[in-house]
Amino acid sequence: MSSEEEPKYQTPPTCDLLNLLLKNRRPTGAVNEVWPNLYIGDAATARDKTLLAHLEITHVVNAADGPQHIDTGPCFYKDTDIKYHGVQAPDCKDFDLSHFFSETSNFIHGALTQKGGKVLVHCARGISRSATLALAYLMMKEELTLVDAVTVVCRSRNILPNVGFLNQLCLLDSALLLQRKTPP
């Protein structure tokens, strides 16, 4: 089949993404490696310094940062060598998490390109906010489509970003597709 005959990828509607996310679900733990050296986990994992040391985590992204959420800022990790990046984001469909996609993806990418770099991205349950930021990283830095990123992550962890975050990921997917099609 020639490249002209191949079906072109299109960003799926949110309802199709939800079906993909809900298909083939299986029990997952508190923390899972979803991409080489990239982990998604919950608040308990982020607070367990012994577990983080065992996993050799070097960087933490807290997608539920702040005193009203999960207050594990840089001071919490001061007795470790862990580098910290916090995003104050409620798990609310009206919250625009996309403002944090670029800076968080850069933080994750910088960590993973370091020798021995391992990143935990977490929120309260490791399902919505943290998953959204991990998916954005895979799309922006690893150049996966949204469907491919969801497929990869769901092999290791059950995730379910809220509908607002899914819509933001769809917009990112469309923008990245257009950007990659446009010659420099």
123 is catalytic: yes
**Cα separation of 28 and 47, whole Å?**
19
Set 75, 123, 154, 170: catalytic member: 123
Q: How many CB atoms lie within 10 A of CB 56?
A: 10
SS3 160: coil
pTM: 0.93
SS3 184: coil
Give the residue carrying structure tokens 């962890």: 157
Task: Say what the pLDDT of residue 1 is.
Answer: 46
CATH of domain 14-181: 3.90.190.10
Show pLDDT as tens, one digit a residue, over the chain (184 residues): 445 556 789 999 999 999 999 997 878 899 999 999 999 999 999 999 999 999 999 999 999 997 778 878 889 999 999 999 999 999 999 999 999 999 999 999 999 999 999 999 999 999 999 999 999 999 999 999 999 999 999 999 999 999 999 999 999 999 999 999 877 6
Q: Which two tokens stand for residue 59?
A: 């960087």
